[in-house]
Amino acid sequence: MSKLIPLIAGILILALGYFIYYSFLAKQQPTDSPPFPIVDYFACSDNCPGPKEKYMVKIYQGVTDKDECLKIGGEPYTYTGWGTFNICLVK
């Protein structure tokens, strides 16, 4: 029983250290990864003559707001077909 108490205390200290590190310190470290995933995107939704490669672009996935796109260094782009689509092109 007396050996169990230091073991439990050690586990609690490690768990607390892990929580503090990943809750506060890990979020403050800079990363080289983009804020949004970069994906290939087919930017045509109506009449798309020619090969599909002509319409394939790289975009920041999930970014549709012009200001947010500019903030992350993208180029806002809007195209119309069966709807109006706002995307953020990778420069």
* 38-55 pLDDT tens trace: 999 999 888 889 998 999
pLDDT at 20 over 80: no
**The amino acid at 9:** A
Q: What's the pTM value of the predicted model, to 2 decimals?
A: 0.59
Strand partners of residue 85:
79
What's the mean pLDDT when you consider all of the chain?
84
What residues contact residue 72 under an 8 Å CB cut-off, 6+ apart? 34, 35, 36, 60, 63, 88
User: Which residues have a Cβ under 8 Å from the Cβ of 5 and sit 6 or more positions away?
Assistant: none
pLDDT value of residue 8 = 81
**pLDDT computed for residue 19 by the predictor:** 75
Closest CA to 56 of 85, 89, 23: 89
